Structure 1
């Protein structure tokens, strides 16, 4: 650090440049320092600034113009803006900022490791995408096996164990190669390019449907404690959950019932607050009565007719029953790409939020995994 507390720019990177480029940067440093402080480096303490570069008599802009004129007269064609840009780069990056970046030595991403070794380890990491999680030691061993079985028969120098471990740390970043198998499969399924959902500007234009086990034990009619499945549909334009059902096991008829609930007004039930009535909402209640008289005693729940529904390839949603229901209502059913949850990220996030933000407050909450599960949940209140 210098006297003013500012960080001194590093100069070690100057060794990455060819000798001629480094000498050119040092030559420019002498001139830029004279512009900044009035004295070139190495000047004695008794030496005074030249008249055109004295900071006490000339502003920084005037000193930059003087330096541009001096160098141009000496045969180095340079503009005032060029001097200013070099001065700013020097103040930000030090002498490295004055070197020609195009001439810097480009260090390979993986250092001096043979490209065949990099390719072999990448193959070893890719092979674990659908397998059970392995250790780094296994991946290093597998890399050596791949190199030994090369079809071209060319011998490749295998780096040291430490070098292979460092190579693994670079190649495996973000892949969860030795971590959670579930997370690894999810990462592998992501599209390679930036992804996003198709925008929707009107209610019902695009909706998503999905089903997920709810991490809560319930007491079924036969007295057995089991988990239930939550199936829901969300509208992309309004982010409204238009319908949801809870079943021990979701069937095609349940998915069809979900469609019916989405397009049908839901009547008020005994015990519900009067504030939930459609007549108490901000919607144009009286005008809607001319369209459907059932809205008179309905709850203020969104009634949205889907145009397009995105679903996964679960047997419930690709069943003949559910497809027939969509055809009857004139709905375009759009299955997502296989193993690509990003195609319906809104409903995935919605169901995930229910599982984390709501289920934990319900009696019989089991947790998301067995290591998070409590004891004797079946004996408690369900």
Structure 2
């Protein structure tokens, strides 16, 4: 849908309402010029883009949707200004709706968008090379629709083993990573950055990317959840020597000692502290090899914690 000159007034009015009803009340607001700046704006707290987006979403849901607007009038109540939520309810009751579930193509369209050139080697993103036969007729050519001649790319930050490129036919085509067969589980952008920081001393460029793929597969294999132990037979008493002996005779493993809730909480807290310490030291560590020549990475047996704010700053 293309905008027209008639839409400018509504858009500017919406921006003005957001500025006067929301933005000026946020800590650290500086205004559009020096006369609107607060006295201690530099000393106040600052929010990240992800935090501001969360505050704006909460304000729209709790305030804006329930605030009457003069432009929203119902035919049966022409003198009463309705809120967006009330107008939506009135129109929904009059016209109804048809729920449409999202398809796989819809989820692909909603992935973060980036723009990259298509070179003779394929598409390079964060030291990863993506290539496919569908790129042959587009190598070295500018995109007819992308900014600066670059091609529209959709990338899943939680699984970077493939990207989706929009070709002139208007559809998104899957382009695999050239080392995707080496990595047998989804790999996030965070894991890839950790591997690059660990193996940054590798000199040969081609071998460097292959080594990253091999290291990623090793880490993802080590972090897979282990299968739970089979249940003990009714005659066995977990935690006792006799019960474990009966359990082993039945083909199972010895039962784990009983843990109290306080002990489990303490162990979980210690694990989080150790994980946090490893994450801070990961960039200073280097890859090493064991006696068999296999690659080992620090903290490869621990799962990382997902930080939504940190992830939002990267996209």
Q: Which one has a bigger Cα radius of gyration?
A: 1
TM-score grouping bracket, smaller chain normalisation = under 0.3
Larger RCO of the pair (alpha carbons < 8 Å, separation 6+): 1
Return the TM-score normalized by structure 2.
0.24
Return the TM-score normalized by structure 1.
0.21
